[in-house]
Amino acid sequence: MFGSLVKQYHLAQTAAQADWLIGADIVGPELAPALRSMKAPGTANKHDNQPADMDHYLHTSADNGGVHTNSGIPNHAFYVASTTLGGNAWEAAGNIWYDALLDPKVAPKTTFALFAGVTLRHARSRYGATSTEAQAVQSGWEAVKVRVR
């Protein structure tokens, strides 16, 4: 998602203007139009099997437990939070996710639910418990059916 933020910043795009595609400029015809879609996980190309929510989470021993495949779930949560807030995704939503990544509770084995809770805590801390930002983060995680812990 940080790669998408850099792209949006470089192109001066708001969350609404962005295409939310990952790798659109590096794929050939077999993977066109992109490697991944944060807006619509599982639709970026004919081989894209990313789930968009926890109902479709892929339990697998491949790919370190599906780390890349299942990344569509938190990526979509970020997309929902960003587009709910509007404006530039690198501002509020980007800062919240960055704060969360720096949080000592986030470790290599962090679950989606724990990370969701950390993002919500940072949204509340930075913007207020009942802020639009905190509500957007909550909505993002609810959209992908991750229970915030």
Residue with tokens 């962005």: 18
Domains of the chain are 2-143 (1.10.390.10)
Spatial separation of the C-alpha atoms in residues 8 and 135, rounded to whole Å: 23
pLDDT in tens, 7-61: 999 999 999 999 999 999 999 999 999 999 999 999 999 999 999 999 999 999 9
pTM: 0.96
Spatial separation of the C-alpha atoms in residues 86 and 81, rounded to whole Å: 9
Spatial separation of the C-alpha atoms in residues 33 and 43, rounded to whole Å: 9
Count of CB atoms situated within 10 Å of the CB of 145? 15
